[in-house]
Amino acid sequence: MRVVVAPDKFKGSLTAAQVAERVAAGLARAVPGVEVVQVPVADGGDGTLEAALSAGYRRVPVRAEGPTGEPVDTAYAERGGVAVVELADVSGLGRLPGGHLAARAASSYGTGQVIRAALDAGCRRIVLGIGGSASTDGGAGLVQALGGRVLDARGDELGRGGAALAAAASLDLAGLHPALGQAEVVVACDVDNPLLGPFGAAAVYGPQKGASPAEVAELDAALGRWAAAVDRATGTDATGIPGAGAAGGVGFAALAVLGARLQPGIELVLDLVRFREALPGARLVICGEGSLDPQTLHGKAPAGVAAAARAAGIPVVAVAGRSLLSMAELEPAGIQAAYPLSDLEPDPARSMAEAGPLLERLAARVADDWLTDKGRS
């Protein structure tokens, strides 16, 4: 009897790997001898690096600049010349000192440093997860770290951050990392925002990063200056491409300067961790995340896992901290049952604090319903 456990993290409580371990432990106690294959996943945002490491990639440490310039210890994951880089782990909101938002000053420079380290080490396929960005700099910092020079009208190089781009007049790509010409860059992206305008990077995501209405307008105008400089340097106008506004505009820079292609995050991660290779012979797949809610149905990890398992003809159930979805909403996504921790512990604080033991108990319920004679009767 074989079960594949492929959860995302329970945010603020357990990592995806910890969720998988707890579910596996509960299944093993309930059904001695069951074979449990643990495949922690992510949707392309935070947790992507960990998912790659859990799948056997090698951790390569890198010291880089955090979103406001402080040094941070991060890493990329490597296997067979493929490097997995997680923006959130170096340039993300969680890397802001003291959690203090810095909408105008934060930069994606550190992410470019990690990509540079991977290129220097010989990696020629870069998989970049861009969720959770702290900046709205259009990816200018990333380009600067890779050797591009963003200049003002006098030819002086600009500093970091989205606000500095108000003075952007030109982009010099003569020093861009030479390996980028032979590298493939794939970006995990699940949003379709353009770079500019009312649905762009500044307007939609700037407030989440601390931008006031006036600062949103300032950043949008600055991004327009940056986009014009990129267009003149590359001959590419990527401002309106769906996903250009992702991660404060890192999607734009990846498309226009790095020649990247965008791919839905969970699809990319499932390929990285070789999820489909774990499916043959499985009786059940268990997916999950902290909250099953309407966002789950739009490109989040459980929906992606369920779609792949359903295509292989394998039933899927979900574990979660809580579920705000009815079975009528879950079933079209391929999820045949949901097991939230709230069924065992209705107090959210206690549920998060005791998530591990509660998950083991939930896994026993799953086993009882799906892996035993009782469940099949």
pLDDT digits over 156-206, tens only? 999 999 999 999 999 999 999 999 999 999 999 989 999 999 999 999 999
Whether the per-residue pLDDT at 290 is higher than 50: the answer is yes
Say if residues 184 and 125 touch (Cβ distance below 8 Å): yes
| Domain final residue pick, 226, 245, 266 | 266
CB-neighbour burial class of residue 54 (10 A; exposed 0-12, middle 13-18, buried 19+): buried
Residue with tokens 């992606």: 304
In a domain, 184, yes or no: yes
Whether the per-residue pLDDT at 320 is higher than 70: the answer is yes
* Reported confidence tier of residue 377, pLDDT bands at 50, 70, 90: very low
| 213/98 same-domain check | yes
| Domain final residue pick, 232, 266, 300 | 266
| 97/205 same-domain check | yes
**Predicted local confidence at residue 129, as pLDDT:** 96
**How many structural domains comprise the chain?**
2
In a domain, 258, yes or no: yes
Question: What count of Cα atoms within 13 Å lies in the side-chain half-sphere of residue 191?
Answer: 23
| 204/349 same-domain check | no
| 139/283 same-domain check | no
In a domain, 271, yes or no: no
In a domain, 283, yes or no: yes
Helix (H) or strand (E) holding 266: helix 265-272
Average pLDDT, stretch 2-25? 96
**Predicted local confidence at residue 375, as pLDDT:** 53
Average pLDDT, stretch 119-129? 98
Percent over 90 (pLDDT), the chain = 96
| 357/243 same-domain check | no
Say if residues 165 and 171 touch (Cβ distance below 8 Å): no
* Reported confidence tier of residue 374, pLDDT bands at 50, 70, 90: low
Structural domain span for residue 95: 48-266
In a domain, 272, yes or no: no
- CA neighbor of 210 nearest in space, from 94, 104, 133: 104
Residue 46 CA, chain-centre distance (Å), reads 5
CB-neighbour burial class of residue 283 (10 A; exposed 0-12, middle 13-18, buried 19+): middle
Average pLDDT, stretch 280-292? 97
| 66/165 same-domain check | yes
Assign 79 to helix, strand or coil. Answer: strand
Rounded to two decimals, the pTM is: 0.93
**Predicted local confidence at residue 244, as pLDDT:** 97
In a domain, 244, yes or no: yes
Average pLDDT, stretch 79-95? 97
Q: How far apart are CA 63 and CA 113, in angstroms?
A: 9
CB-neighbour burial class of residue 114 (10 A; exposed 0-12, middle 13-18, buried 19+): buried
| 297/232 same-domain check | no
- CA neighbor of 65 nearest in space, from 128, 141, 118, 119: 141
| 168/262 same-domain check | yes
Strands 170-172 and 149-151: antiparallel
Assign 21 to helix, strand or coil. Answer: helix
* Reported confidence tier of residue 210, pLDDT bands at 50, 70, 90: very high
| 55/86 same-domain check | yes
| Domain final residue pick, 266, 289, 320 | 266
Quick one: tokens of 189?
């992206």
Residue 162: which CATH number?
3.90.1510.10
* Reported confidence tier of residue 299, pLDDT bands at 50, 70, 90: confident
| 297/260 same-domain check | no
| 345/369 same-domain check | yes
Residue 106 CA, chain-centre distance (Å), reads 19
What average pLDDT is seen over the chain? 96
Residue 371: which CATH number?
3.40.50.10350
Would residue 137 be called left, alpha or beta, if left means φ above 0 and alpha means ψ between -120 and 50 degrees? alpha
From the CB of residue 222, how many other CB atoms can be counted at a distance below 10 Å? 24
- N- to C-terminal Cα distance for the chain? 17
Whether the per-residue pLDDT at 296 is higher than 90: the answer is yes
| 73/29 same-domain check | no
Backbone angles phi, psi at 240, to 5 degrees: -95, 0
Quick one: tokens of 85?
């880089």
